[in-house]
Structure 1
Amino acid sequence: MRSLRRTLLLSLLGALVLVFAIGGLATYRTARSEIDALMDYQLRQFALSLRDQQFGQPSTPPLAPPEESLDFVIQIWDDSGVRLYLSHPHSALPSLAQFGYNTVRTTEGEWRVFSIPLLDHVIQIAQPMAVRSRMAANAALHTLMPLLVLVPLLGALVWYLVGRGLRPLERLAREVATRRADSLDALPTTDVPEEAQPLVRALNRLLERLDHALSAQRAFVADAAHELRTPLAALQIQLQLSERADDETARRAALAELRTGLQRATHLVQQLLTLARQEPGAATNAPRSRIALADVARQSLADHTPLADARHIDLGADTLDDTAVVSGDAAALRTLVGNLIDNAIRYTPEGGRVDVGVSVSDAGTAAATCWLRVSDSGPGIPPDERERVLDRFYRRAGQEQSGSGLGLAIVHSIADRHGARLVLDSSPHGGLRVAVGFPPAEPVPES
């Protein structure tokens, strides 16, 4: 498991070491520049100090040999170019002097050379550049040594401070870990660092959504149990009536009622299963494909024609635009269209009319929408109840037609899954018109 404290510690120490390295390099270059200036000054002063010496005369005692630790090499020529003095032999040094400061590359490395004519002599002082580099490195090391010694102390301090800064997160983690499974109250935002506030707010929004989802699930289970209890009780009564029937006619009537009750119960269970499959997250792996709404409407019209004929209802299509192509789950869209047509037929009186239409509005623009509309000549729904009929198991008072109260809830759920708009308004035939607006499918790229 990745430790945030360890990550912060290693990151901070790595950054500090990098800064120290950059600082050490800058310190070394600064020290080297200052040492070069100082040593050049010393070379010049050393050469000027030999100005009044006498070289090459028998009466003049030679200069004392330099110490082994002396890192200067001295050469002196007379005005005719004869070398009068060499402090200790360095064959790699040039035998001719070039006045001023120069850096000479030799087989023994680089040398810093200063040559100057004084009176009737030419004096040259040379020093190896390695000496200067060593002195600059020592100066930089001595400067950084206290900081390097303090790195362990700095690491311990960073570890403590990071741990102290993470204590609010640890308290938050302990609070979440000790919560009960059914505790979905919002997490406290007091004493939470500013950086952790987005995480806490996101968790609170998640808990709120979970609370709503669980509440909806509990309500759904309670409603489903209530709705199933009534038809099951009716089935039990009808079964008892069929058992107590005295003659064949009464028995057949009781069995017919029992068959009707079984059909209602089966329809309710099928609607419950359909609604459960359309819940968010229940069908995330359902394949999506390009679907022509007109084709789905034609198939559903053919499937519901026998029911419409039995009720003497004029079922047809006013517009079926084949260019209305959407991206979605084919089975779910067939369920959506089937529920809309089935509801319209059930709630339209005999001899009424149900029309299905598929069209495209604002084609070719960013606001293009593929519309599926089902209109009927039934009693309709008052405007103040149109939102409520989308709730599960809601049925308007005074309904004569039997039903589960799940048809429009299923349509609403499928529409949400497909990013579609569901609009309920008045039909031109005097009843209800349900319109579902889908975003059009992406055009197929040309090969």
Structure 2
Amino acid sequence: MPNPHPPSEGTKPAPAGRPQREFGLHRLRSLSLRRTLLLVLLPGMLLVMGLEIVVSWRTALAAANAAYDRSLLGAIKAMDANISTASGGLSVELPYRMLEFFELTANGRVFYRVASGDGLVEIGNADLPGAPRPLVNGQPQFSDALYYGEPIRLGSYARALAQPLSSGSNSRQVVIQIGETLESRQDFTRQLVTEAVARDLLLLLAGLALLVLAVNWSLRPLQRLRQEVLQRDPQDLTPLDAHHIAQDVQPLVEAINHHVMRYREAMQARRSFIDDASHQLRTPLTTLSTQVSFALREPDAALMKQALVAIKLQVDDTVRQTNQMLALARADTLEWHMEPCDLITLAQAVTRAAWPDARSRHIDLGFEPLGNAPAEVSAHAGLLKEALTNLLHNALHHTPPGSKVTVQAGIERPDLPALSPAQAVLRVIDNGPGMTSAELARAGERFYRGSTQSSGSGLGLAIAKAIVQRHGGDLSLQTTDAASPAPGLTVTLHWPLGKP
């Protein structure tokens, strides 16, 4: 039956085995480190032990063959020493005691064959199988063979004769073969393999015991770290001591300490904001309450209107002060992303938005770009706009009517770039009353107001300073013209290009 809901174009069904594999990996990652190490290392150790058994079996078989082949070669040499061709024929003075002793050593039956190189003259077990490869005089061959369906180990040896045989053969070569059954070899090999397996099992058990001890000992610092964290007071935000922690775990402890420091900074910022808000809003709210009570008691409509106007001004001031405190908190704690920003375009927009306020105060407000090149930088445009708006608001509200305020923006490039880098700049210049040296030293502190400031919260410079510091720069203030009766003030936000 066809599928009534075929898959849409561009989609691929997931492989059938992928969910199971992902589930298995998730289960493995969710286990404890101890179990994970054991699950990973134990199969590896079992595999190594299996390979060790195979290697031990092959080594034991080679050792047994080498030992028994040397014994077999000794029997061949002994038989070769008893071969006689003096009569022109082939004769062997068979050393029966030697064969009996060899049979006892081999722990099985022994077969022999002495023949001419062409096989026309043979003595002993004539039906023994021949050597698998052509014999070379003086070089013995050892091979596995079957003799009447029974596996044997066969040694073959050939040597040259001083003169050819004359009795039915003209060969100048004699071949000696001795075969033995494999009971003794197999018993010896089985014993070696059994001992090797027992040894490997003991090594495996010892390795597992050492592995468990090593894992437990290695994880003890983590257990101590866990106990230290659990026993801490919830208000304790001091960094963890990483000196006695293993090097592999120190990055984790450093990451935890980094997170703790960020959390502590966030808590301090929140506590500072709450303290500042409670301190700064208590007086305006009390004043508002008093003014509302006065307006409610006042029967005269004209006086009531005056009270309402005063209330409106107080509300506007409180709203601005609240917005400034929120902006300051946002500048301290906001997680932001840098983006391309044209400083000249941004400063022009802020200046244009302030023209109505400047005209109402009879202040000449202008804008000057710094240089002719574009001033595109990587920054947070929203916060820079907030900083420049606060600087411009301070300049407009703390200079007398008829003053002049100028906004500058752009990139300042020094005459010697090797000594100092190019800097992004936002600047506000006025010819108002300025500030004294003592006031310049404290400018930028939260809630600090100079002697010429009759109103305001003292947060404008603090907000601008916090924002430019987040960009990697700083706020600087200087007197515009100290010799003038109206010295004025120049406030500059500057930060190196390419820095956050």
Q: TM-score, normalised by structure 2?
A: 0.71
CA contact (8 A) 2:423 2:497 kept: yes
Aligned residue type for 2:495: G
Q: How much does 1:194 deviate?
A: 6.1
Question: Bigger shift: 64-73 or 327-336?
Answer: 64-73
Aligned counterparts, 1:154-193, within 5 A: 154-187=207-240
Aligned residue type for 2:403: G
Distance 1:226 1:95 in 2: 107
Judged with a 3 Å threshold, the aligned counterparts in structure 2 of structure 1 residues 301 and 11 are, in CA distance, closer, same or farther, namely same
What's the counterpart of residue 292 of structure 1? Answer: 342
Give 3-state SS (helix, strand or coil) of 1:174's partner.
helix
- Structure 1 stretches of 4+ moved >6 Å: 55-69, 103-112, 126-129, 131-137, 363-366
Aligned residue type for 2:396: I
Quick one: which of 375, 378, 385 aligns to 1:327? Answer: 378
Give 3-state SS (helix, strand or coil) of 2:455's partner.
coil
Question: Bigger shift: 316-325 or 104-113?
Answer: 104-113
Percent identical pairs in the alignment equals: 28
Distance 1:92 1:79 in 2: 11
Distance 1:194 1:323 in 2: 49
Pairs aligned (count): 437
Give 3-state SS (helix, strand or coil) of 2:294's partner.
helix
What's the counterpart of residue 412 of structure 1? Answer: 465
Q: How much does 1:88 deviate?
A: 7.6
What's the counterpart of residue 27 of structure 2? Answer: none
The C-alpha deviation readout for 1:213-266, integer Å capped at 9, x for no partner, is 323321220111111111111111221222233433322221211110011111
Judged with a 3 Å threshold, the aligned counterparts in structure 2 of structure 1 residues 194 and 441 are, in CA distance, closer, same or farther, namely closer
CA contact (8 A) 1:354 1:376 kept: yes
Question: Bigger shift: 304-313 or 369-378?
Answer: 369-378
Q: How much does 1:315 deviate?
A: 1.8
Gaps of 5+ in 2: 1-29, 162-172, 482-487
What's the counterpart of residue 169 of structure 2? Answer: none
Quick one: which of 132, 136, 159 aligns to 1:98? Answer: 136
Judged with a 3 Å threshold, the aligned counterparts in structure 2 of structure 1 residues 212 and 57 are, in CA distance, closer, same or farther, namely closer
Distance 1:124 1:78 in 2: 11
1:230 paired with 2:288, answer: no
Give 3-state SS (helix, strand or coil) of 2:80's partner.
coil
Distance 2:80 2:241 in 1: 86
Aligned counterparts, 1:23-38, within 5 A: 34-35=63-64, 37-38=66-67
Question: Bigger shift: 220-229 or 62-71?
Answer: 62-71
The C-alpha deviation readout for 1:344-366, integer Å capped at 9, x for no partner, is 22233333232222232459999
Q: How much does 1:314 deviate?
A: 2.4
Quick one: which of 102, 115, 120 aligns to 1:77? Answer: 115
Quick one: which of 459, 471, 474 aligns to 1:422? Answer: 474
What's the counterpart of residue 33 of structure 2? Answer: 4
Q: CA RMSD in A?
A: 4.5
Gaps of 5+ in 1: 443-447
The C-alpha deviation readout for 1:372-393, integer Å capped at 9, x for no partner, is 222333444566665754344x
1:357 paired with 2:427, answer: no
CA contact (8 A) 2:427 2:490 kept: no
CA contact (8 A) 1:74 1:124 kept: yes
What's the counterpart of residue 157 of structure 2? Answer: 115
1:432 paired with 2:490, answer: yes
Which protein has the larger Cα radius of gyration, Structure 1 or Structure 2?
A: 2
Aligned residue type for 1:319: P
What's the counterpart of residue 377 of structure 1? Answer: 431
